[in-house]
Structure 1
Amino acid sequence: MERIVKILVERDNMSEEDAREKFSEAKYELNLLLITGGILDTDTFCEEHFGLEPDYLNDLLMPGSGQRVQ
């Protein structure tokens, strides 16, 4: 399980399915942001979508880069 998904499940009491959907939607939105040149807006992306620090941005940008947890 991706660590962002795990955090959403544990911290926000989301179902794993809902957390994965939120993760996928955010990933899609981030890709659109980057395609349209919104690179400067990425600093606050994780905070706005997940309440997390920018450190988690790599989890969305590069598949497999985020730590997988059980």
Structure 2
Amino acid sequence: MAIGGIGKLVQRARGYAQANPDKVRKALDQAGRVVNKRTGGKHGRQIDSAGDKVTDFLAPDAPKDNPPAR
């Protein structure tokens, strides 16, 4: 994918996240739980922080309902 294509991809991801913030948050939480389980819970705070940052980037107005990763 060309560099210009990445910008379009980011814009599409943002549009989807803004239209579906609950789905995006659910997917990020699920991914965080999987990664946290694989790492034995050693990086829970970092995983939660990364999920919050992705949510902020894609959908800045999305609610931050972020339970700890398990």
State the TM-score, normalized to the length of structure 2.
0.41
Structure having the higher Rg: 2
State the TM-score, normalized to the length of structure 1.
0.41
